[in-house]
C-alpha cells in the first residue's frame, strides 16, 4: 500500500451542519428580542456559541482529508499535521453511546507522538483501516494499551493479544 486517502462521510457532515445551524438559530435568534442583561441572554448566548463552535469544527472536518500510508498518517486541510508510525507514543480508542443501549454511538481514535496529536471519529471513511494501522504501529513500538482501548478494539473485531493482528489489515 502506498497511500490511501480518506474523508469524512458526506451524510454525517450534512447532518452536523444542520444540527449546528438549527441549534445556533434557536439559541441566537431570540437574543434579538430579549432585553439585555437578562440571565437568559447569557445562557442562550453561551449555548449558541457552542453550536457555532460545532459548526466550525464540522467545516474543518469537511475541508480536511486523511492520508494513510505505511510510514504514517497525514491530515490535509486548514491545519495540516503528520504522524510517523515510528513516533507513535499513545493510542486511545473510546466509544460514546447515544442511547441507553450500546448499539448506537460512535468511536473516537486519539493518537499522539512526535510532537503532534490527531483524533478521528468513526464517521471517517476508512476508520477501521486507520485503527488497524495504528494498532500495528502500537505493537511495533511496544506500547501499552489501556483496558478501555483493548475492550473497544475487541468490540471492533481486532484481537489485542500480541502478534495476533495479521499484516493484511494494513
pLDDT at 146 over 80: yes
Domain ranges for the chain, please list them: 8-63, 65-169
* The pLDDT of residue 101: 64
* The pLDDT of residue 32: 87
For range 162-167, the mean pLDDT: 43
State whether residue 139 is helix, strand or coil.
helix
Tens-digit pLDDT profile for residues 44-66: 999 999 999 999 999 998 999 99
DSSP secondary structure letters along 14-56: HHHHHHHHHHHHHHHGGGGTSPTT-HHHHHHHHHHHHHHHHHH
* The pLDDT of residue 169: 40
Q: What is the third-level CATH fold of 65-169?
A: PH-domain like (2.30.29)
pLDDT at 86 over 70: yes
* Cell numbers describing residue 61: 472536518
The pLDDT > 70 percentage for the chain reads 91
Integer CA distances (angstroms), 39 to 26, 42, 53, in order: 17, 5, 21
Amino acid at each position: 500500500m502506498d497511500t490511501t486517502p480518506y474523508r469524512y462521510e458526506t451524510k454525517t457532515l450534512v447532518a452536523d451542519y444542520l444540527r449546528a445551524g438549527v441549534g445556533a438559530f434557536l439559541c441566537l435568534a431570540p437574543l434579538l428580542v430579549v432585553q439585555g442583561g437578562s440571565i437568559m441572554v447569557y445562557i442562550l448566548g453561551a449555548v449558541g456559541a457552542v453550536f457555532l463552535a460545532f459548526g466550525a469544527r464540522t467545516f474543518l472536518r469537511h475541508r480536511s482529508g486523511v492520508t494513510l500510508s505505511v510510514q504514517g498518517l497525514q491530515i490535509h486541510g486548514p491545519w495540516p499535521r503528520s504522524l510517523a508510525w515510528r513516533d507513535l507514543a499513545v493510542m486511545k480508542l473510546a466509544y460514546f453511546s447515544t442511547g441507553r443501549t450500546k448499539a448506537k454511538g460512535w468511536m473516537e481514535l486519539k493518537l499522539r507522538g512526535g510532537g503532534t496529536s490527531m483524533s478521528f471519529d468513526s464517521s471517517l471513511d476508512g476508520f477501521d483501516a486507520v485503527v488497524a494501522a495504528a494498532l500495528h504501529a502500537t505493537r511495533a513500538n511496544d506500547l501499552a494499551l489501556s483496558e478501555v482501548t483493548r475492550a473497544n478494539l475487541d468490540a471492533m473485531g481486532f484481537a489485542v493479544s500480541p502478534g495476533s493482528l495479521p499484516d493484511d489489515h494494513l
